[in-house]
Amino acid sequence: MLTPARTAPGARAWSGTLAVGPQRLAMGLVLAPDGNDRWAGAIDIPQQKIEGLPLRVAHSADGTFTVALPVTGNARMELREADGTLVGTFHQGAFTGPIEFAPRKVGAPVAAPAP
């Protein structure tokens, strides 16, 4: 059984916005070590009524997080930490786009995307 990311010791949270054409989706991401080099993750996407969706998370030796969302279209993110932020690429179906997450307090609400 996976540890719920939000309540795991060492949990860290970030907020980001994904631009999909004219639409901007606010996302809240939580990642936490789950022991034995495993990771737990959860995502909030308020505009899609997604809250606390558990994620499959892999962390490679080079520091890259590969985060798989259990949704249609094989959605995933490849993220690297850079100066406290997570930067990378979001993929779903034929769509690929850049995404960046800034730190936020675990449990803090996800802010609406900037216009």
pLDDT in tens, 46-88: 999 999 899 999 999 898 999 999 988 899 999 999 898 999 9
In this prediction, residue 73 carries a pLDDT of 87
pLDDT range class, residue 115, cuts 50, 70, 90: low
pLDDT range class, residue 7, cuts 50, 70, 90: confident
Closest by CA position to 40, among listed 97, 2, 74: 2
Here the tokens at position 17 are 């916005």
CB atoms within 10 A of CB 52: 12
In this prediction, residue 110 carries a pLDDT of 80
CA distance 115 to 77: 23
CA distance 76 to 85: 18
The tally of CA atoms less than 13 A away on the side-chain side of residue 6 is 14
- pLDDT of 2 strictly over 50: no
- pLDDT of 92 strictly over 70: yes
Question: For residue 5, which phi and psi values (nearest 5 degrees)?
Answer: -60, -40
